[in-house]
A and B are shown apart, each in its own frame.
Chain A
């Protein structure tokens, strides 16, 4: 039983990371109907920015403040990167066919991965510890401060996002754009600005995930975004792409099921389970667990 609970905690912390990345996929899909394949790479850049920032802060005692600084710094840099990607790569082709946009996204992803190998070096790097570490043992289950941080920070960010989307003017505009891009423009919403903000938000969340994984794992490398990006994408589809609570649910489900499979069956099936779930969802419930059915208008 303790082992099961421990695996559940492991799964929750891994799932929170997937959920944070999945949010970015789902938000961008919501406004642009685009699968932003470069999103996993933004997450990787987030981890690296966090790594270099924490190296700068090293020497000082690890503290909550410096951990917070690193995370916020990395989120800002990646928000700007996300806006830049949208402005330079996606906006010029936004009116083109959906396929053009998709191929552009794959191109951006390859570009970032290769530039990262040049700039950061292809060798893996190792995150220094940011915050003082303490362990808590609850009913035989060991919770490290890193795991708790990951889960709590992820939940906080998701609640903040929810508040932003449901309660603010910009959030309302985002919902309008996701409902209908053309109608929103006719209503006087600056759609370019809203799309830009969507990219910034999604990328900032990915950066947070990057820093959190860096604190937890602590190995980062320029191609780390590929697998995590793909699994987060599966999570977004599982929850229902375009649905924000769906992305969170999907992320947690993928994380937990993956850990259970590795723990009780074999690590060989780790990837098989994530993609197996994707196939099942696409067959049985194409709109995802919490997604709405979109009627094709003729």
Chain B
């Protein structure tokens, strides 16, 4: 008896879902899928990305949408698990019939979902996956962030040309591909510019005592210390370095970008620099409009991930408009021909490898604010 009731409920539920699907199809909305981590270890990444792309589509919709239709963003949570990313992208494509895909921040998640998008010929734009392999999956996969090869070279140029330092020490997180990659790219570029790496020390994500490494670095007398890592450790590292009497500036990468960095490191971070995708105090009207809209809607300052997702969503909308269709192949071709798109994170052009060619910024940490110091173009570091 109970089984029959259950079966009836299930049937009713399936019926309701089918009906509602039919209803959605009849409304003329363009459905764009987004997969991100809204819960779990990297939840802040997913939430920033979702908020950024939603803001972009709201903006597009308020101006009449694309091709006369409004864009609807469907967001699915992969619970910070790469293997879930494939499942939710399958759902977005087959069940919800999304015509394009935005995601993911983490390269491992992007790599799990990209083959599915490629096979189904659904264009996918990753806002922030920096691993080179992501866009190598196929010709439907794009990204709007720069690669770590560029990011490392940018900081090397800044250190050598602007700060005029010749002796740099590196402290690297050996458990992170991201950190080790940047160590290599920075080191190569810095040596090419005539600099010298005087000490290389390592730590592991989750460590909390860095005095031993810092004491060894101090003995090598560097003029600056490069720490490509994530904000949790960086804040602690700089705090402990100042206690040991190390006064030289610390240099870092986009993993530093979080309000938490200042909460951890406090005034010890004053005068440190890191490379990032954009700076909130950039006077560029595109940036200011984005920052103000974001603050008005979510009541907080947008981080770089929100800005990248905003750009990804706007590039997608722009491509659909230019393609004059939401057909996968036409949209793909339109995205691939994106040139000098005025994004929040710089002028974006998509190259033959489907990667973004764009500027990077160097920001200075000053009393809890991240101030724009220098903008570096791709041709500057060639």
**A interface residues (Cβ-Cβ under 8 A, vs B):** 2-3, 6-7, 10-11, 14, 124, 126, 135, 137, 142, 144, 146, 213, 217-219, 224, 258-264, 266-268, 270
Contacts and interface: CB of A to CB of B under 8 A. Distances in A.
Given A126-B264, A142-B244, A267-B207, A219 B212 contact: no
A146 B243 contact: yes
A9 to B, nearest CB: 9
Contacts of B209: 14, 217
Contact of A262 (B213, B236, B240): B213
B236 A7 contact: no
B201 interface: yes
26 contacts: A3-B219, A6-B218, A7-B212, A10-B215, A14-B209, A14-B211, A124-B232, A135-B243, A137-B245, A142-B244, A144-B243, A146-B243, A218-B236, A219-B208, A224-B208, A258-B212, A260-B212, A261-B212, A262-B212, A262-B216, A263-B213, A263-B216, A267-B174, A267-B203, A268-B174, A270-B207
Q: How large is the interface on B (under 10, 10 to 19, 20 to 34, 35 or more residues)?
A: 20 to 34
Closest 9 CB pairs of A and B: A262-B212, A263-B212, A10-B211, A3-B219, A259-B212, A267-B202, A263-B216, A142-B245, A6-B215
A264 B212 CA distance: 9
Interface in B227-247: 232, 235-236, 239-240, 243-245
A224 B232 CA distance: 14
A135 B245 contact: yes
Contacts of B201: 267
B204 A267 contact: yes
Nearest to A14: B209
Contacts of B243: 135, 142, 144, 146
Interface in B157-176: 174
Nearest to A228: B208
B324 to A, nearest CB: 47
Contacts of B207: 267, 270
B19 to A, nearest CB: 40
B120 interface: no
A218 B239 contact: yes
Given A217-B236, A262-B212, A263-B216, 6 more contacts: A3-B216, A3-B218, A259-B211, A263-B212, A267-B204, A267-B213
A219 B215 contact: no
Nearest to B201: A267
Nearest to A213: B208
Contacts of B264: 126, 219
B353 interface: no
Interface of B: 174, 201-204, 207-209, 211-213, 215-216, 218-219, 232, 235-236, 239-240, 243-245, 263-264
Contact of B244 (A6, A124, A219, A264): A6
A137 B202 CA distance: 27
Nearest to A5: B215
Contacts of A219: 208, 232, 235-236, 264
A263 to B, nearest CB: 4
- Residue among B207, B213, B215, B243 with the most chain A CB within 10 A? B215
A217 B211 CA distance: 10
A126 B244 CA distance: 19
Nearest to B215: A6
Contacts of B215: 3, 6-7, 10, 263
- The SS class assigned to the A binding surface is helix
A263 B263 CA distance: 28
A234 B85 CA distance: 41
Nearest to A6: B215
Contact of A217 (B204, B208, B212, B216): B208
A217 B235 CA distance: 10
B377 to A, nearest CB: 36
A260 B211 CA distance: 11
Nearest to B200: A266
B191 to A, nearest CB: 21
Contacts of B219: 2-3
A174 to B, nearest CB: 33
Most central of B202, B204, B209, B243 by chain A CB within 10 Å: B209
B301 to A, nearest CB: 19
B212 A268 contact: no
Nearest to B216: A263
Nearest to A264: B216
Given A3-B219, A126-B264, A10 B212 contact: yes
Contacts of B218: 3, 6
B206 to A, nearest CB: 8
Given A3-B215, A7-B215, A10-B215, A126 B208 contact: no
Contacts of A268: 174, 202, 204
A200 B153 CA distance: 56
B231 to A, nearest CB: 10
A261 B208 CA distance: 16
Contacts of A258: 212
A20 to B, nearest CB: 15
| Residue from B204, B212, B232, B240 having most chain A Cβ neighbours under 10 A | B212
A266 B245 CA distance: 22
Contacts of B213: 262-263, 267
Nearest to B174: A268
B245 to A, nearest CB: 5
B159 to A, nearest CB: 23
Contacts of A262: 212-213, 216
Contacts of B245: 135, 137, 142
A219 B212 CA distance: 17
Q: Tell which of A7, A11, A263 has the most Cβ of chain B within 10 Å.
A: A263
A14 B207 CA distance: 13
Nearest to A220: B208
A116 to B, nearest CB: 16
Contacts of A2: 219
Contacts of A263: 212-213, 215-216
A232 to B, nearest CB: 14
Contacts of A7: 212, 215-216
A120 to B, nearest CB: 15
A10 B239 CA distance: 15
